[in-house]
Amino acid sequence: MELTSNGLKDFFKEVAGMVETEKDYLCELDRKLGDGDHGVTMSIGWQAIHDKLTNELVDTEDCGKISVTIGKTFLNAVGSSVGPLYATGFMRGAKIAKNKTVLNEKDLAAYWVAFANGVKERGQAEVGDKTMVDTLAPFAETLKTCFDDTQDFETAFSTAVNAAEAGMNSTKDMISKKGRSSRLADRSIGVQDPGATSAYFILSTFLKVIKS
Ligand code: ADP
Ligand code: MG
Ligand code: MG
């Protein structure tokens, strides 16, 4: 398979739609752990991205340019902790996609590994801290290993999304050690992390797009 620049733009539009659907749920999780705004901040960021996709980026075919603009737009629109985290992810992915109008399977695997590693480096969270890294780190590790083994991106990505889901679920029993929810200490046990949840939704949206 391969992903064209239009395919990449369609994926980002799908994420914007998904965020609207999941907005209340993401806020509900964040009400129990933080300040209750995660769905709203994601919505603000992805609506701004949707605007760019339907205006400035309409004729852009460079997947790197598209991805860097997505990252910058999200950063500028979002004030909360996830702003720089997702922005870094997409800007790291942009380095892989630079000057490419089509992404092949190898590019796509490298794109998503760079995305996940970028978020982890930017936020300095480790697996077990109850953040989106609990979704993204097992995802990236599985994607890399499985793609190296099979050279089949769709199989590898699908397996990696399962690992992401398990990682997201694992945050429920964790004590938060990073971000706003860390102030709750052991009272943070019992609720799934909102960022781990939105990260899983983004990845499963990509899977949906490549399967359609
Ligand atoms: P804020 O806490 O500023 O209101 P959001 O509610 O939008 O931001 O996002 C909260 C999410 O951000 C958390 O659920 C967590 O997954 C993620 N997060 C916070 N700090 C970090 C970090 N240092 N590294 C990775 N993810 C983080
Ligand atoms: Mg919040
Ligand atoms: Mg906030």
Q: Please say whether the beta carbons of 8 and 62 come within 8 A.
A: no
Q: Which atom of ligand 1 is nearest to the CA of 196?
A: 16
Confidence at residue 138, expressed as pLDDT on a 0 to 100 scale: 98
User: Which amino acid is present at 189?
Assistant: I
Give pLDDT tens digits for 31-43: 999 999 999 999 9
Find where tokens 């982890």 sit.
120
Give the global pTM.
Answer: 0.98
- The pLDDT, as a whole number, for residue 185 is 87
What 3-state class would DSSP assign to 198? helix
Residues near ion ligand 3 (Cβ under 5 Å): 35, 37, 80
Pick among 1.25.40.340, 1.10.260.40, 3.40.228.10, 3.40.50.300: CATH of 2-211: 1.25.40.340
DSSP state letters, 16-68: HHHHHHHHHHHHHHHHHHSSS-HHHHHHHHHHHHHHHHHTTTTT---HHHHHH
- pLDDT tens, 17-32? 999 999 999 999 999 9
Q: Where are the domains of the chain?
A: 2-211
| Predicted pLDDT of residue 77 | 98
pLDDT tens digits, residue range 187-203?
Answer: 889 999 999 999 999 99
Q: Tell me the average pLDDT across 143-172.
A: 98
Q: Tell me, in angstroms, the distance from the centre of ligand 2 to residue 136's CA.
A: 19
CA 32–ligand 2 middle distance (angstroms): 10
**pLDDT tens, position by position, 124-150:** 999 999 999 999 999 999 999 999 999
Higher-scoring residue by pLDDT: 91, 179: 91
Q: What does the pLDDT average to over 115-127?
A: 98
Distance 37 CA to ligand 3 centre (A): 5
What's the 96 CA to ligand 2 centre distance in angstroms? 30
Q: Is any ligand 1 atom within 6 A of the Cβ of residue 194?
A: yes
pLDDT for the residue 98? 98
> Measured in whole angstroms, how far is the alpha carbon of residue 54 from the centre of its chain?
21
The least confident of 75-79, 86-90, 185-189, 207-211 is: 185-189
User: What band does 99 get if pLDDT is binned at 50, 70 and 90?
Assistant: very high
Contact 57, 90 (CB under 8 A): no
64 Cβ below 6 A of ligand 1: no
User: What average pLDDT does the structure give for the chain?
Assistant: 97
